[in-house]
Amino acid sequence: MRIDIILQDRFSTHFRETSNIGPVLGWEMQMMRAQAHYATNISNVQDLAIFATIVEAGSLSKAARELNLSLAMVSKRLSKLEELLGVRLIARSTRSLSTTESGQHFYEQCRDILHGIQLAERQLQSRQTEVSGTLTITSSTSFARLFLASIIYDFQVLRPQVSIRLLEDDGIVSLIDAGVDLAIRQAVLPSSSLIAVAIASDHRIVCASPGYIAKTGPLRSPDDIAAHNSIVFGMPPIVDWVLSDGKETKTVTVDWRMSTRSGDATTAAAIAGAGLVYSSTWAVRQALEEGKLVNMLPAWRSPVRSIYAVYPSRSFQTPLLSEFVKFLTKRAREYERRYRADLESLAPGLESLITELDDPALQAAAPPS
């Protein structure tokens, strides 16, 4: 290193005293100095991203699809990286691949480097005053379909320079690992480093289709639920249905006949007449308004829970993220106020249906259960 510095100083002095190519060589000397300080065989960070994607995808072909590159290109870049490093990173066979011990260690380092680059880029973007760029959001399928997709469109009308990637997933997505900027969560959040902003409130109600009620009869109280077919949702499924009328709280453990991992599938099964569902009011509002589902116990509902906008840390709160969260919160609370009024107006519909079902003529015409 000492010899390099001496040579650089001599060259710099020599060319400052002679021709006009001095500034060019001066720049080259600076590059030599930088390379000496950050010496590496890897000249393209994209090779690190390709390698990390291969490890996470579990196959070259899947990684190629995710990266929108040809399989041949992905394989070539991996081989070139291994050649540069002089070590086998991934053990490949005709049917599978796995990381070597060195490859696993290198992957963990690559992941930290790539996350560091992403953080540097986002922090740089946060210094800009213009609201622009790409936002990656994840939410449940039903929330995305019934509410979030239209909110995104309305936001983009105001901010046409913004791109938004919406990932619908009824599971819990790791924000950091999936590269997600914002998650909408309708669940109790564990203690973590995540930042959570309550954007609206929610509760669950017990619903069924008019057809199901016609066959089995209405519910008079939560105690009647155990005798009915139930559709449950979640992994693990929610089998303890907690309901309160403001005076007392009851917990009913259901013996379910169908379990799903999708809120939309749960609602569809209930509309088809498969049984009772214990669903978020946000998920069943449309079906209630269309008369496809009925709130079976209007006076009873689950305890209130919050809907959260969640992001990794304040370091990631770019102007785009901040403005979208404010926009989303405003629209969610407006929607919630309208929905409360609509839900109350729908309650008399069940009383009317119960009156019809109590009609002896209708009972005689109803199909046997």
| pLDDT tens, per residue, the chain with 369 residues | 222 323 333 333 333 333 344 444 454 445 445 555 666 778 788 889 999 999 988 889 899 998 999 999 999 999 999 988 899 999 987 777 889 999 999 999 998 899 888 888 877 766 666 677 889 999 888 889 888 999 999 999 999 989 999 988 877 777 777 788 899 987 666 656 788 889 988 889 999 999 999 999 889 999 999 999 999 988 788 899 999 999 999 999 998 889 998 888 999 999 999 999 999 888 898 899 899 999 999 999 999 888 999 988 765 578 889 899 999 999 988 888 776 655 555 554 444 444 444 444 333 333 333
SS3 category, 99: strand
Structure tokens at 364: 């005689």
Nearest to 220 by CA among 296, 153, 278: 296
Q: Quick check: 99 and 90 in contact, CB under 8 A?
A: yes
Q: What is the DSSP letter of 231?
A: E
Phi, psi at residue 188, to the nearest 5°? -70, 125
User: pLDDT at position 7, please?
Assistant: 30
User: pLDDT at position 298, please?
Assistant: 92
Q: Quick check: 280 and 307 in contact, CB under 8 A?
A: no
User: pLDDT at position 125, please?
Assistant: 65
Q: How would you class 304 by CB atoms within 10 Å of its CB: exposed for 0-12, middle for 13-18, buried for 19 or more?
A: exposed
Phi, psi at residue 362, to the nearest 5°? -70, -35
Q: Which residues, including other chains, have CB under 8 Å from residue 131's CB and lie 6 or more apart?
A: 159, 161, 162, 319, 320, 323
Nearest to 129 by CA among 291, 318, 356: 318
Nearest to 225 by CA among 237, 234, 214, 216: 216
Q: Quick check: 152 and 331 in contact, CB under 8 A?
A: no
Structure tokens at 93: 């066979």
Q: Which residues, including other chains, have CB under 8 Å from residue 333's CB and lie 6 or more apart?
A: 199, 200
User: pLDDT at position 367, please?
Assistant: 34
User: pLDDT at position 362, please?
Assistant: 35
Cα separation, 280 vs 207, whole angstroms:
10
Nearest to 196 by CA among 314, 109, 64: 314
Q: Which residues, including other chains, have CB under 8 Å from residue 332's CB and lie 6 or more apart?
A: 147, 151, 199, 200, 307
User: pLDDT at position 358, please?
Assistant: 45
Q: Quick check: 60 and 54 in contact, CB under 8 A?
A: yes
User: pLDDT at position 13, please?
Assistant: 37
What's this model's pTM, rounded to 2 decimal places? 0.57
Peptide bond between residue 218 and the one before it cis (omega within 30 degrees of 0): no
